[in-house]
Structure 1
Amino acid sequence: MNGTDWGALAVNLAACASAAAAVLLATFAVAVRRGLHRVVDVAWGVAFATVAVVTWLLSDGHGDDGRRLLVTAATVVWGLRLSLHIAWRSRGHGEDPRYTELLAKAPGNPTLYALRSVYLGQAALVWLISLPVQAAAYSADSLDVLAYCGLAAWALGLGFEAVGDHQLARFKRDPANKGRIMDRGLWSWTRHPNYFGDSLVWWGLYLFACTAWQPALATLLSPVLMTLLLTVGSGKRLLERHMADRPGYAAYAARTSGFLPLPPRAPRPGTGGNPS
């Protein structure tokens, strides 16, 4: 039987909305001062970690300590690793073309448009996607099979994401690979191992909240939304549009799964060779 303290959770939801907004508003101030909106990508993981810590503090005495600690630690580890990776990857680079294109088409003042559409929009997404983390912390149920399955899915997703990021970074460091398509390691099984890992992490965190049908149903949108963002939102779709004209990409896409890891397919006639 689920022992969620719904009243305390409601207070937590309001506090976490404020916390997510505070992180993104602070990031907006930094971005305007530096003239560089790509810093918002670094804040994405930090905002999730902040929500998890706020939830852990406020849920003391309301939820099972083991579940609270595990779901908080898992979220913080994932969020900070992602933010540190993005910060390291983007050092020394100028503005992200995505934000240049977005703000060039902005109606009215581009800075205010960025505040509404990018920063406050991301704060809302962080709050919505983090609902399983918040709900799990307020469940009085001790850790069960679903929670441990969630931990296993989280670990697999985090490993997939981290290894994929490492393999790509190592590939790009080699001058011999300039202009080539990364199709090795995990990237030979899926064109987006980092996005797949990201999605799996959030399905794992969702399982922590599945202590009864009410929280399971109430938070289901969160992993679904994260997966949609990664596949048809600002993730996979935009990246593949950017990569479409690269030599060898059509052949790579023809033999490599777009999201779920699958064995490479045999090259189709007429797709050409891959320079990598």
Structure 2
Amino acid sequence: MEQVILRYDGDALGDHSMNLKLIAESLSGLDDLIHEVYEEMGGTEDEIDLQIKGGFQEGSFEFLMTVGQTLQDNIEILKIVGFGLPPTAGSLLTYLQWLKGRKIDKITLTEEGNCKITTEDGEVKESPSYMRPLLASASIRTAFNKVVSKPLRGGGIEVFEAIANNDARTRFNSVTTAEEKYFRSQRNPVNNVVVDKPIDDVVITFLTVHKDKDTHWRIDLDGEAITIKMEDDTFLSNFRKGKVPDIFVNAYSVMIYEKENTITMDKTYSIVKVYARE
């Protein structure tokens, strides 16, 4: 079980009142944020129990949030989000503070399996691999917008804090009005999600072909059966005219384009050139 106090402070809360719509949106954002991160980390919705207890304290408004969950490997959701003592590798909240509202140009994997985040102006930072889908998620940005950005830009609330639920009330993280723009919604947080990789002059054999469509062809590439799209119009035209009679007998040298989604790691393939047989 994890616990954290989430605190809003500012002049607008001096009379012990807070806009009901802001409270409702913040609670909705918290629920969305915690559940999405939990599921991205391998959990399921029915495994997590999120409890909120709120009230005013010395001119501020606070939520005591309790998260009960069953993730393996001692994964602590609040720390990953940024509502706990941040791990050495950083949290979602601290990565968004580093981005300062900039869009991510691309996210690639290093040889060690970490993420390499490149901003639109060329700054680079490494993160754990699990941050890849979290930083690319538009819905996570929307949730942070509800929890952090909207209350801070509404006027009269100057700071959002994540505080330990202990006598010392240790502050884990804070966001000020000057930083709220870093947590606004972004429809497409990553500019370049798909990376093209040419694979030239490789030898393949055809397993499945279609005269009526250029998709869902299957080839054998180094002993692996993969589905491809045929984008060599000349070869496709010759095949449809019956000019490639031994298509299942012969091996062919081709250029393939591999398209990899750097967030989901899904790959698609297309043949862009079938070289003439010698």
Normalising to structure 1: TM-score of the pair?
0.26
Higher gyration radius (CA): 2
Normalising to structure 2: TM-score of the pair?
0.26
Higher strand share: 2
* Structure with bigger RCO (C-alpha 8 Å, 6+ apart): 1
